[in-house]
Amino acid sequence: MDELEPGILRTTFAIPFGIDHVHCYLLRSSAGGWILVDTGLGARDPEARWQPVLAQLDAPVEAIVITHMHPDHVGGARDAAEVTGAPVLQGRADHEQCARAWGDRDPQRFLEHWTTHGMPSETVAGIAAESDALVRAVHWVEEPDRLLEAGDEVDGWRVEVLPGHADGHIALFKGGVMIAGDAILGGITPTIGLYPNSRPDPLGDYLGSLERIAELAPRVAYAGHREPIPDPAARAREIAQHHEERLERTEAALGPEPRSAYEVSLALFTDELSTTLRRFATAEALAHLERLVAVGRAGRAGAAYVQAADTI
């Protein structure tokens, strides 16, 4: 457990895929207890996972806040609630997406999404196997105790809704400190992908969220991965620039002949990638393609994409 500043602790869990760790934060409450933000992946043995964390605290966990519905953040929500008895608070829009992704799961529709966007069948088969394994590690809460919206307060922390990395991603903001989840990261950029059942233009959403972070200009952001971000407004502008460059590369990958999002992902991410990373790459290509379509810089050809008409 690391003390980042008075009343803000960080505990880190290892995760077996992607980024190899996730941070959860503990915020001192006005009643002298702790508010837990994010929960890592679901555990086979919740007591064994959480007791060592709770044993380091001088007071009980009074509330659990989830920043977003990705497995490494919401995955341990039910476990932590069972072990602590604390209520779970989640963004309203985030909980809706969470229920669609992990509750009303439609594996066929999920796989069709990738096939439609040009992914070869063996890669799609790999995704199917991986997502079956993943869903077992997502112990989300079907009925959170409180659903949060922009402007709500959690013990003096203001809720900011910062969509993009997830449709209803929330962050907490107080006194210049942002508990950011994956809305902003240092060293790496949050993945922005288009998935079935998600909002239609996640990159457009995300560029708006980056503007919001720049406008709030926190003193520091404590994020779900990597190190604290000392100048989040500058980092937000840097990430926006990264996406502008990626939009330009995406536009350059299009021609007069239709190209699928999968093909565009091969042009954007040229390394040989694992199934998981190729899925992220394809979702990321799709998010950039949809942004280009939204602003008239690309056109559609069925489920594929072409150069904008005036550039042909």
Q: Which chain residues interact with Zn ion by CB under 5 A?
A: 72, 182, 224
Q: Kindly tell me which of 225 and 259 has the beta carbon lying closer to Zn ion.
A: 225
The residues, ordered by sequence, that sit 6+ positions from 258 with a Cβ below 8 Å of its Cβ are: 301, 302, 304, 305, 306
- Least separation in angstroms between CB 73 and Zn ion: 6
Q: Which CA distances in Å does 22 have to 49, 94, 209, 267? A: 14, 19, 22, 30
Residue 257 CB, nearest approach to Zn ion (Å) = 37
Q: Between 182 and 201, whose beta carbon lies closer to Zn ion? A: 182
Q: Are 181 and 173 in contact (CB under 8 A)?
A: no
Pairing of strands 21-28, 8-14: antiparallel
Cβ proximity to Zn ion, 33 vs 181, nearer residue:
181
225 vs 278, which CB is nearer to Zn ion? 225
* Start-end of H helices in the chain: 46-54, 71-74, 77-84, 92-98, 107-116, 121-135, 202-216, 232-252, 261-268, 275-294
CB closer to Zn ion out of 41 and 63: 41
Question: In the complex with Zn ion, which residue's Cβ is closer, 10 or 28?
Answer: 10
Shortest Cβ 76–Zn ion spacing (Å): 12
Q: Which is nearer to Zn ion, 168 or 224 (CB)?
A: 224
Cβ 263 to Zn ion, closest distance in Å?
A: 28
CB of 72 to Zn ion, least distance (A): 5
- Strand 298-301 relative to strand 304-307: parallel, antiparallel, unpaired? antiparallel
Q: What secondary structure, in 3-state letters, does 243-309 show?
A: HHHHHHHHHHCCCCCCECHHHHHHHHCCCCCCHHHHHHHHHHHHHHHHHHHHCCCEEEECCEEEECH
Q: Smallest gap, in angstroms, from Cβ of residue 251 to Zn ion?
A: 28
Spatial CB neighbours of 123, under 8 Å, sequence gap ≥ 6: 114, 275, 278, 279
**Burial status of residue 225 (CB atoms within 10 A of its CB: 0-12, 13-18, 19 or more):** buried
Q: How far is the CB of 306 from Zn ion (least distance, A)?
A: 34
